[in-house]
Structure 1
């Protein structure tokens, strides 16, 4: 069963991203939004083999370049991801 993991907290202030990466399966994906977009600077995401998305508005607001291993989505794309995955887990 596939899960979309939504992370909105900076990986520099807590360990949510690291915890998420430990439980992500091959069918899962991560959506970075808000300060979670800073996760694009985390090299661990690149080598993990998990599909990574970032909310375009948040990466642009933080002037973060989009690495080739991540995809940018707008708000309608965010909604579509929530539909495409079996479960959505928001890391509050």
Structure 2
């Protein structure tokens, strides 16, 4: 069963990203929204964690949130607008929001 994990909290304020990465299976996806997109800041430990899994991780970011924060998006990460976010939510068996 595939799960789309949705993170919205900064990886610099708690350990949700670490916990999520430990639980991800190969069929799961990870969507960064809100302050979670700060994980893409160049030269940071969160970005390094994500890059280490770039070949096997289905990683998405909400385009509006990275634009609002002026962050670069590596080519291996897929940017989603809101309609694409809905499409991804339906494509997975379930969605888990890390509140």
TM-score normalized with structure 2 length: 0.89
Match of residue 76, structure 1, among 77, 83, 99: 83
Structure 1 segments of 4 or more deviating over 6 A? Answer: none
CA RMSD of aligned residues (A): 0.8
Aligned partners of 1:3 and 1:68: how far apart in 2? 23
Specify the alignment match of 1:9 in structure 2: 9
Structure 1 residue 19: deviation in Å? Answer: 0.2
Once the two structures are superposed, the pairs formed by residues 26-65 of structure 1 within 5 Å of their partners are: 26-41=26-41, 42-48=47-53, 49-65=56-72
Counting matched residue pairs gives 92
Which region of structure 1 is more displaced relative to structure 2, 39-48 or 2-11? 39-48
Alpha-carbon distance between aligned partners in 2 of 1:13 and 1:69, rounded to the nearest angstrom = 25
The TM-score, its normalising length taken from structure 1, stands at 0.96
Q: Deviations over 1:7-41 (max 9, x none)?
A: 00000110000000000000111000000111223
User: In 1, Cα distance between the equivalents of 2:92 and 2:24?
Assistant: 13
Aligned to 1:66: 73
Question: SS of the residue aligned with 1:27?
Answer: coil
